[in-house]
Amino acid sequence: MNLLIVDDEFLEIEQLEYLIKPHFPNWHVYKAQDASQAMALAKQHRIHLAFLDIQMPGKTGLELAKELQQLYELDIIMVTAYQSFDYAQQAIRVGVSDYLTKPIIEEELIQTIKKYDKWSSQNETIQAALSIIHERYAEKLTVNSIAAEVFVHPSYLSRKFLEVQQIGLNEYINNYRLEKARASMLNNPKLSISEIAEQSGFNSQHYFSVAFKKKYGMAPREFKVMEVNHNNEA
């Protein structure tokens, strides 16, 4: 399950993640500090549940909720430090699922989340598959090999994965590897393109370059040059 936490206070995001992770360790948590970051993440990843702070610079959490719901169906929990009836009414009008006030109490938080745990509870197989991908993306992974590890038929895994994640399993693996490769180029600029490709799970540098350009609009070498120039200017 993909969870999005949006709050302009980073410590608030960290606290919420800290409270949630022990209860739902297989959930993938995405974090944003404003509406533009949140929308960018929501377009890259299929979000199932979002925690939105009402009071943020720029667009409010209520405005962000409207935009997220225009992308696709998801559950939204509004978080605020103000116990305002007017805020609650507005949240209901824009289709927000629930409303929590700060400071957040762990027991209340977990009870609230459990109502939206349908993705996780009904799809333990998918969560197991995601864990394999996230932990071992650099290895040779196929639908058949993952299906064998989670004890289901490959066709069932493919169908269920597409249903839950809204993306094919092989495409998800490829995208995840590309994200890791991009992060590796940013964090380890001295690595060669072939090293990055291999460490990210691609057995062909040519295929990696083609896939990277398709996703990011430029070849890996162009991306590296751009980042080097950017860092030199900074």
* DSSP per-residue letters across 12-74: HHHHHHHHHTTT-TTPEEEEESSHHHHHHHHHHS--SEEEEES--SSS-HHHHHHHHHHHS--
Q: Which of 16-25, 153-162, 222-231 has the lowest mean pLDDT?
A: 222-231
Q: Which of 55-59, 68-72, 121-125 has the lowest mean pLDDT?
A: 121-125
Higher-confidence residue of 2 and 201: namely 201
* Best CA proximity match to 198, nearest among 175, 213, 211, 181: 181
86-111 tens-digit pLDDT: 665 566 666 677 888 888 899 999 98
Look at residue 166 and tell me whether its pLDDT is greater than 80: yes
pLDDT at 68 over 80: yes
Question: What ranges make up the beta strands (E) of 81-163?
Answer: 98-101
Residues 42, 31: contact at Cβ < 8 Å?
A: no
pLDDT (tens digit per residue) in 137-149: 999 999 999 999 9
Average pLDDT of the chain is 86
- Mean pLDDT, rounded, for 30-36: 94
Cα(230)–Cα(196) distance, rounded to whole angstroms?
20
User: How is residue 160 written in tokens?
Assistant: 């269920």
Find where tokens 């974090």 sit. 31
Q: How confident is the model at residue 117 (pLDDT cuts 50, 70, 90)?
A: low
Share of the chain above pLDDT 90, in %: 44
Element (H, E) at 6: strand 2-6
- Only one residue has tokens 């291999």, namely 198
pTM: 0.53
- Tokens of residue 165, six digits: 């994640």
Mean pLDDT of 119-126: 67
The token pair at 30 is 């995405």
Residue 82 has pLDDT above 80, yes or no: no
Cα gap 64→224, rounded to integer Å: 33
Q: Please answer whether residues 21 and 1 qualify as being in contact, where contact means their C-beta atoms are separated by less than 8 angstroms.
A: no
